[in-house]
């Protein structure tokens, strides 16, 4: 997947070419977004019971389904 390592325990690495730190930061930011690192960190900030996670997932699915049905009408 575009040369991005997603395994646990692997750090994101960005090479700095020609001393251009701005470009390296931009590349790092895009890698963080693509690997969903920040989303995972925020999601694991607090413990969530499996039943609560399942309930939230179901509510989201219902919300999306209703939203799609509303668009079709």
Question: What is the predicted pLDDT for the residue at 1?
Answer: 40
| Residue 4: partners with Cβ closer than 8 Å, 6 or more residues away | 12, 31, 34, 35
Q: Classify residue 38 by its DSSP letter.
A: H
Nearest in space to 20 (alpha carbons), one of 28, 8, 10, 30: 28
Domain for residue 7, yes or no?
A: yes
Q: What is the pLDDT of residues 14-59, one digit of tens each?
A: 888 888 999 999 999 999 999 998 888 888 899 999 999 999 999 9
The pLDDT score that the predictor gives to residue 40 is 87
Task: Tell me how many domains the chain contains.
Answer: 2
> Domain limits at 61?
47-73
Task: Determine the pLDDT at residue 12.
Answer: 87
Is position 42 within any domain? no
Indicate the pTM of the whole model. Answer: 0.54
């Amino acid at each position: 997947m575009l040369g991005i390592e997603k395994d646990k325990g692997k750090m994101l690495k960005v090479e700095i070419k020609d001393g251009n730190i701005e470009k390296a930061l931009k590349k790092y930011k895009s890698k963080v977004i693509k690997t969903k690192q920040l989303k995972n960190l925020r999601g694991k900030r607090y413990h969530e019971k499996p039943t609560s996670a399942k309930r939230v997932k179901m509510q989201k699915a219902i919300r999306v389904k209703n939203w799609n049905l509303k668009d079709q009408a």
